[in-house]
Amino acid sequence: MSQFKVAIVGAGPAGYFAAQALQNSQTDDMKFEIDMLERLPTPWGLVRTGVAPDHPKIKTVAKVFEKVAAEPGFRLFGNVELGTDVTIEQLRDIYDVVILATGSALGRKLGIPGEDLYGSISAADFVPWYNGHPDFTSLEVPLDGEVAVVIGAGNVAMDCARILAINPEELDTTDTANHALAALHKSAIRTVHIAARRGAEHAAFTAPELRDLPKLEHTDVFLRADDVAAAQARAESAGEIEKELRSNLEAMKLIAETTPAGRDRSLHLNFLLAPKEIVGKDRVEGITFSINRMDGDKVIDTGETHTISCSLVISAIGYHALPLAGVPENSGKVKNADGRVDGNLYVVGWAKRGPSGVIGTNKSDAADVVKLAIEDLGTPKGKGSIDDILPAGHQIISQEKWSRINAAEVAAGEVLGKPRLKEVERSKLITLGQE
């Protein structure tokens, strides 16, 4: 029987699905010992720090992750960072296979004037702020103005816009980080605009997220019926409309047809607005867009502009991977061929294919890469152990310690009617793990 040692770097969905695929591939002749490394003291990646708190159903996938973690041969090494605590070269020596599942942590830049003004924030910072990621607790999010603009037509833009536009009381029973919840309760924002640079037929929102919008209890959602009709006409003239787009257009039509209830909170979906400049002296005072028009599939700048006065701009226009020492990079991803990087190094998830797909997409993606890694396996060659590299006294968050943190957070949330009360300070998380 051959026993192979595998390191998975990153305890997000892609990492857990890779571990699951390895576990499912075991035979009487081939077993895997899996060490999962995670820089934070808490695992679950975007399920903890990305998924919107008002979408708790999506987070139930964490049960699958915990099942994977409970399997024999699985060890969690939380609070262990690649590049700081261990190097990629060390991992490649110790393990037979190293799988990177490090995601895409950095927000893409708009590259327009005014982007660095106070009040212009990337969704890559705003989302972890409201989700209690320890590195983003001190982010300054000016919520003192009445209007906010979110750039992008994807589900992240939708999450950001919804969090800003709903009545914060709707978040009281969620696991929104306490600091964010307190700030949102004081927020003066009442109007939120989403700005998409192309027509509605090209929006990257998905239908379930769009269908949720008319159900918001305290927020009117506006979308011009003309925008949907024009998008539908353009899509039809290009040929048969695919199922997903049809579903999206139907969901948008429903929003356009919903009569506003005259609530003081509103969310507006705008199309054909390309960000040109964020304006303001010392802080964001507005954003100017080039008005586009569609010519078939082509986007044409009409030369006209439109300015929205606002005090907060969130750009949600995609992500790229954090560069890792000793790992080749290409266009914001780890350079790879179907998940193979080189030698015994592999990559899965967003770090492999870029920031696309829903959480479940990572399951088949990871299984495909694990299949290749298994095909490449020779005989076990890994030497030594990660325990010998980490300095004595390094606070490793093992699965047992994480279970204590998890239980403590759930218990603290229970008395408040929340699924959990997140601890957001690294040192306190580490202490919770010891208790």
* Closer residue to ligand NAP, CB minimum distance, 197 or 333: 197
Which residue in 352, 369, 336 sits closest to 18, CA to CA? 369
Write the CA distances from 194 to 147, 273, 314, 317, 327, integer angstroms: 11, 10, 9, 12, 36
Tell me the C-alpha distance between 79 and 37, whole Å: 8
% helix, strand, coil for the chain, step of 5? 35, 25, 40
Binders of ligand NAP in range 32-51 (CB under 6 A): none
154 forms part of the interface with ligand NAP (CB under 6 A):
yes
Pairing of strands 329-330, 333-334: antiparallel
206 forms part of the interface with ligand NAP (CB under 6 A):
yes
Write the CA distances from 105 to 21, 195, 214, 318, integer angstroms: 24, 23, 31, 10
* Closer residue to ligand NAP, CB minimum distance, 2 or 356: 356
CB of 197 to ligand NAP, least distance (A): 4
Residue from the set 131, 155, 187, 292 that interacts with ligand NAP by CB under 6 A: 155
Region binding ligand NAP by CB under 6 A among candidate stretches 138-146, 198-206, 289-297, 425-433? 198-206
Site string for ligand NAP, 70-109 (x = CB under 6 A): ----------------------------------------
* Closer residue to ligand NAP, CB minimum distance, 197 or 265: 197
CB of 435 to ligand NAP, least distance (A): 34
- Residue 298 pairs in a beta bridge with 295
Name residue 167's amino acid: N
Which residue in 8, 70, 15 sits closest to 406, CA to CA? 70
User: What ranges make up the beta strands (E) of 311-374?
Assistant: 312-315, 319-320, 329-330, 333-334, 340-342, 345-347
Nearest-CB residue for ligand NAP:
154
Residue from the set 356, 364, 385, 434 that interacts with ligand NAP by CB under 6 A: 356
* Closer residue to ligand NAP, CB minimum distance, 362 or 406: 362
Region binding ligand NAP by CB under 6 A among candidate stretches 64-72, 146-154, 221-229, 365-373? 146-154
110 forms part of the interface with ligand NAP (CB under 6 A):
yes
Which residue in 275, 341, 343 sits closest to 113, CA to CA? 275
CB of 52 to ligand NAP, least distance (A): 7
- Joined tokens for residue 370: 């694990």
* Closer residue to ligand NAP, CB minimum distance, 152 or 433: 152
- Joined tokens for residue 394: 């390094």
267 forms part of the interface with ligand NAP (CB under 6 A):
no
Residue from the set 132, 275, 332, 339 that interacts with ligand NAP by CB under 6 A: 275
- φ, ψ for residue 8 (rounded to 5)? -115, 125
* Closer residue to ligand NAP, CB minimum distance, 241 or 412: 241
3 state SS of 171: helix
204 forms part of the interface with ligand NAP (CB under 6 A):
yes
Name residue 215's amino acid: K
Name the DSSP class of 410: H
Region binding ligand NAP by CB under 6 A among candidate stretches 94-102, 185-193, 247-255, 313-321? 313-321
317 forms part of the interface with ligand NAP (CB under 6 A):
yes
* Closer residue to ligand NAP, CB minimum distance, 153 or 345: 153
357 forms part of the interface with ligand NAP (CB under 6 A):
yes
156 forms part of the interface with ligand NAP (CB under 6 A):
yes
CB count, 10 Å around CB of 302? 10
- Joined tokens for residue 75: 């060890």
198 forms part of the interface with ligand NAP (CB under 6 A):
yes
Helix ranges (DSSP H) in 266-389? 350-353, 361-376
Give the CB-side neighbour count of residue 64, counting CA atoms within 13 A: 20
Region binding ligand NAP by CB under 6 A among candidate stretches 75-83, 137-145, 156-164, 374-382? 156-164
What does the binding site for ligand NAP look like in residue numbers (CB under 6 A)? 55, 110, 151-157, 159, 196-198, 202, 204, 206, 209, 275, 316-318, 355-358
